[in-house]
Each structure stands twice: as structure tokens, then as C-alpha cells.
Structure 1
Amino acid sequence: MTLEVEGKRKFWKRMRCRAAVTVNLRPTLGVQVVAEMIEKNTTVVQGNCFGLAIFPLNITQLENSLDYVHKAKRSMDRKKHSLETRCTFNFIQLIFKLFGCRVATTFVGRVLSQTTLLFSNVAGPLEQVSLAGHPLAFLAPTCYGQPTGLLIHACSYAKQLTFAVAVDEGLIPDPNQLGDDFVDSFMLIKEAALTKLRTNTDV
């Protein structure tokens, strides 16, 4: 049994998985600012302004689920404060201006196709908004035709967090099992966080 577990650990250590994370480089305007712009009848062309960060994924099984979260948080904070996202944005803009949209699109597609998954998180409005007088229950942005096998969009809205997951069924034949694994992982993280909270409270 010990040899089997040790063999699995060596297998996971040999795996090399990477995630392409999109980082918004534009400051968030907020709902109030947009509402004031609409009232003043002023239009501002926003456009896309985001960079890419290549984030290594460590496939391992830790005793405490929060250790994995803390490690990923530290690594992502370093990525966001580095020049990687700004450099990728400027480099893509340079390719676009020199060689055109087709070459820039091909370049971005080739970069993303070398990653395991694409992850994007969107900070939505803190207050509940309505469309044509109808309140929105949730926001779930996604896209079609991703170059990676797995695409994950996380969007916050009115104290709720929604995950939209798109998969390539040729690479992931059972998307429902993947969804169940996501739920199980979040439950383990939640239980570990509650256990730590109880421990700190007792102390």
C-alpha cells in the first residue's frame, strides 16, 4: 500500500500543468460611475485591456486543503504585481500593429493551446442590478471555441460567486464528473476553513 501511494505521488510530481490567467489591466469603473455616464449621455469606448499570466499548477494531495489555497494565492499575488501581464498586453498590441489581427490572433491561440486550462475572474457589481426592470439573479460569463481543454470563468455578483465551466469533450469525456469534483473540492476547502475558524475561536 505504501509503494502504491508513493508511486502515485511520483506520478503527480512528474505532471506539468499550466493555467493561462487573464488579468484586467483597466481600473474598474463601478456601477455608480457608469450610471452617471449614462445620465450625462457620455460614452466612453472601453475595449479589451487585459494581459495573460502563465500560472503553474501543482497537482498534489495535501493534508490540509487550505495549504493549497494559500500557496496558489501567494503565487497569483506575485504574478499580478509583476510585469508579466503588462508585457504580454504590450507585446500582443505590438504584433497587432505590425502584422495585423490575423497574426496576433494566431499568436494568442498558440500560447493558450500550450496550457492546460484558461481561467478568468470578473469582479461584478456589489449591488443587485436590473435589466429592463427585471432583477438579475446571477451573472455567468463564458465563451465558445476556447483553445484549451478547460475554460473556467468566475464572476462575483451581489455577494454571490458563480463558476461557468466549459470543457472540450474530446479531452474531458465526463463533464458531470468534473463538476462533481469541483463541488467536492470546494466542500473540502470549506470544511478546512471552518475547522481552522473553530480552532482559532477556541484558543
Structure 2
Amino acid sequence: MMSSEEGWSVRQEGDEPVSPTGQYFNSSAMSVCVLSAFESEVPIDDSPTMDVLRNLFLPVNPRFSSIMVEDKKGEKTWRRVTVNLEDHVNIPVFPSGLTVEAYHKCTQDYLTKIGTEMMRQDRPLWEIHIIKYPTLTGEGTLVFKLHHALGDGFTLYSALFSCIKRADDPSLPFTFPSRTDGKKRELSLWEKAARSLSVGINTGLEFGWSLIKGEDDRSPIRSGDPGVEFRPVVISSLILPLEKLREIKIKVGGTINDVITGIIFLGLQLYVQKENDQSVAFNSTALVLLNTRVVNTYQSLQEIMKPNGKSPWGNQFGFLHVPLPKSYDPERVKPLDFVRQAKKTIARKKNSLAVFLNGMLLETIRKMKGSEVAAKYVHGTLRDTTLTISNMVGPLEKLEIAGHKCRSYYFMVVGVPQSLTITMLSYMGKLRVTFGTEKDFINEQRLVSCMEKAFDMMYQEARDYK
């Protein structure tokens, strides 16, 4: 933290308060960042970088030109500072003359390196890394490292999209897949009463369970070691066609999220089975990120920054605790059963107010004991579970950054006290599933292979299903 000679910063006029969640994510308990990587179709020309950052990126929000400071009372605020752009731009140099496969490995190692490094607190909490070497998935990679204290995925991507244009027609806005299946029918009075009763019961059960839930078992996907958030993370991914995911969805109903969650659960079971010689079924829990905003798609920066808008800037999300299904031999279980179970479990948990009660509990802890204690509570919630699953919706059209058409892009959350983080991002009819795995603990290649097998098993059963 930036401080005065007395060890604390004196609050100044113009300082803006840091949101509670922003304080949790940048505290003594944890420091959580987001890596957002854009893979270019052409070699990267870094000459427009400074102009784009100065004229498009910095004006998006004052937080990109601010540092977080703390006063004597422990209250944290954002303070505007002069930004030296050269401090935020990094262009790594790799050995020359390597193969594409070798440069792909160099890029993976570089992402592991920057994912482990702590961000300096005496400058605004963002960086850009321009990797000018080809990989198996692009001719170059542009990486934004953004501290999660700046905002959640919704607002951070809305900010990035202000610097990005449609490749086919820059004058047109991006379009995004709809998350709804049309208008919902009006419920009868009895149906409303039954739903209210169901919400009440589910809320009590889910909130109570979240309070008494213990620590997950150590397993092939959870080391459970202290300080796992400081260990290197290997980033790997696979791409699934949304068209085939929709075919599976039609067979079992539900949503694309239900389908991909089922695939992830089956893939994890296959991986655990390969890594576990004793055929033990572990108690494992996934934290599924839930957007608590009242909107379902990206909005313009004008809408986000509007006072009292529906989608204000900041962190607005909660976690659903979803237990992973247990199976001693997942290959003998019908793959689509994993989707049905995921659909049933997530629907029940969404049909409750436990997420909001947990938020109220956290706010009570913050008011009574301070943000650092609340941050430790959040850290403990993450530490005691096995993995986090987060998803974002990307545009249907190809995007372009400063003249560079984007072949694909993905994001990963780093600094989380878990051995495994899974993120999903749709783009141009495909779904990029990305895995952040604890280095030298989880075999990332085997994990990706198990996920591919889970998808193939599920798609084949869906095609044979009558």
C-alpha cells in the first residue's frame, strides 16, 4: 500500500472508497488477479500500444489511474495518480529460432510466471504483456493482467471491449448470445405460493449447509497444502463446439451451463480415477460463480457508469457450493446422468436466497470486525473447497484490437487458494474451457485429455439417445 511517513495515508479530497469485495481481493489474506489473453491471427505490432492505452483504456474508469491507499482507521480508498505507461507494458524476449511448439511452451511458462508475481501497490493495479511469438493457437498473444479489486469479469470485459472493435464492421456493436429461452409464462397464484415455499426451504437448507460444511478431502485435484495460492499455476485449455453442446442440451433439457458443468464433473471423475489407485470416492465441492446483476449481457460503459444503474461498476457476484458427484467407476455410469444431476443440483441452489444471506453474513463480519477479518473468511471459504468454476459470454463476431484480428481468447483467475480453477468463455460459436492447475501436482495434459473424453462420451450418448 502507498503510505505516508507515519505509515498511513492521510485521506485526500477526491479519494473514492474501495468496495468491500475489492478490499477482500486486495488484502493481507489474498491478492486475486485476472489474466485475459487474446490470441492474434497475425504477428503483433506493438507500435499502437501507448496511444491505445492513453486514449482508450485509461479514460474508461478512474481506477485504471488510481492506487489503493489506507488511512489510520483501516479504510481503503482509490487515489488518482499520474500513470507512467512504460511501467505497465511488458514485452518478453524468448530465445530465437525455436519451433512453434517450443514457443507455445515458452508462452505457457511466461503466463505461469506472471500469474505468480504479486502486483505492485505503488502503481495502478493493471499490466499488459505483449508476447510477440507464435503459439499453437495464435501468431502472438496480448495479455491483460487486471487485479480483481478493480472489478468483476462483467465490468472488466466491458472496459476491454471499449478498446476493441468488430473485425467485420468497426462501426457496429458486438452481439452476444442470449441467456434466456424466450418469455417465461405467467405463474398462477398457487404456483407462486409453491415456489415461495420451495425458495424458503432451499434457502434454509443451503445456507445452513454452507455454515456447517467442513473442509474438502485431499484428493488428486486438491492438495490442501497451506499457501497453495502462491504456487505456480499452469494454464491449459480445450475448445468445444457450441453446436454439439446444444445437441446434448436438447436431449436432456436445461442450459448450456448445465451441460458443460456435467462434462466437467465427468471429466474430473475420470481424472481422479486415473490418479487414484485405491478407488476412493472423495468429498469435493465446486464453487460455481453466480452473477448477481439484474442484466444478462454486456452493457456500454455509459450504462455501467450511470448513477444507480442496473449494472454499476464493481464486483457483483456470489458463489454456489455444488458438491461433485461421487463415482467409483465413472465409465460405467451413463454420461448424461452427470448433466441431469448438475441441472438438478444447480436449479435447487439457484432457487434459494443462500447467496444473498452469505453476502449479508460477510457484510456483518466486515462491519463488526473489519475488512481484513472478512477477507480471511472469504479466503477460508475458497481454501476449504476443491475448485472454482467461472464462465463468461463472448461475442458472436470476430473482434479486432488495434488492427489485430483475434483468433481466440480466454481468461484465468490467479491467486486463489485452490489447486484447480476452471473458466469458460464463448466466442464465435465455440466454447474455450481453460484450466489453471497447481504445477507439479495436477497433470494438466491428462486432465485436458479426460475432459475431451468426457465430452466425447456425452456427445455419443446424446446421439444414441432416443
- TM bucket by the smaller chain? 0.7 to 0.9
Q: C-alpha separation between the residues in 2 aligned to 1:171 and 1:75?
A: 29
Point out which structure has higher relative CO (alpha carbons under 8 A, 6+ apart): 2
2:451 corresponds to? 182
Q: C-alpha separation between the residues in 1 aligned to 2:293 and 2:367?
A: 20
**3-state secondary structure, aligned to 2:411:** coil
Contact 2:383 2:417 in 1 (8 A): yes
Q: C-alpha separation between the residues in 2 aligned to 1:93 and 1:134?
A: 43
2:371 corresponds to? 101
Given residue 147 of structure 1, which amino acid in structure 2 is its aligned partner? P
Sort the Cα spacing of 1:136 and 1:101 in 2 relative to 1 into closer, same or farther, 3 A.
farther
Sort the Cα spacing of 1:107 and 1:161 in 2 relative to 1 into closer, same or farther, 3 A.
same
Contact 1:30 1:125 in 2 (8 A): no
Given residue 43 of structure 1, which amino acid in structure 2 is its aligned partner? M
2:428 corresponds to? 158
Q: C-alpha separation between the residues in 1 aligned to 2:358 and 2:409?
A: 28
Q: How does 1:114-133 map to 2 (within 5 A)?
A: 114-133=384-403
Once the two structures are TM-superposed, the CA of residue 162 in structure 1 deviates from its matched residue by 0.8
**Which residue of 285, 293, 297 corresponds with 1:18?**
285
Please give the per-residue CA displacement for 1:122-154, whole angstroms capped at 9, x wherever unaligned.
223344433334343333111212211111011
- Matched residues, percent identical? 27
Once the two structures are TM-superposed, the CA of residue 170 in structure 1 deviates from its matched residue by 5.2
Sort the Cα spacing of 1:90 and 1:130 in 2 relative to 1 into closer, same or farther, 3 A.
farther
Sort the Cα spacing of 1:177 and 1:155 in 2 relative to 1 into closer, same or farther, 3 A.
same
Q: TM-score, normalising length from structure 1?
A: 0.77
**3-state secondary structure, aligned to 1:142:** strand
Aligned residues: 182
Q: C-alpha separation between the residues in 1 aligned to 2:417 and 2:296?
A: 30
1:141 corresponds to? 411
Gaps of 5+ in 1: 1-7
1:3 corresponds to? none
1:5 corresponds to? none
Please give the per-residue CA displacement for 1:14-57, whole angstroms capped at 9, x wherever unaligned.
521111111110133635x417x38xxx8344201111111111
Gaps of 5+ in 2: 1-275, 307-311
Q: TM-score, normalising length from structure 2?
A: 0.36
Contact 1:50 1:89 in 2 (8 A): no
**Which residue of 268, 287, 300 corresponds with 1:34?**
300
Given residue 141 of structure 1, which amino acid in structure 2 is its aligned partner? F
**Which residue of 417, 430, 437 corresponds with 1:167?**
437
Q: C-alpha separation between the residues in 1 aligned to 2:405 and 2:363?
A: 38
Q: C-alpha separation between the residues in 2 aligned to 1:118 and 1:29?
A: 21
Structure possessing the higher radius of gyration over alpha carbons: 2
Q: C-alpha separation between the residues in 2 aligned to 1:134 and 1:97?
A: 47
Contact 1:52 1:84 in 2 (8 A): no
Once the two structures are TM-superposed, the CA of residue 63 in structure 1 deviates from its matched residue by 3.1
**3-state secondary structure, aligned to 1:143:** strand
1:195 corresponds to? 464
Given residue 65 of structure 1, which amino acid in structure 2 is its aligned partner? P
Contact 2:391 2:423 in 1 (8 A): yes
Q: C-alpha separation between the residues in 2 aligned to 1:124 and 1:103?
A: 35
Contact 1:125 1:158 in 2 (8 A): yes
Contact 2:305 2:313 in 1 (8 A): no
Given residue 459 of structure 2, which amino acid in structure 1 is its aligned partner? K
**3-state secondary structure, aligned to 1:139:** strand
1:66 corresponds to? 336
1:111 corresponds to? 381
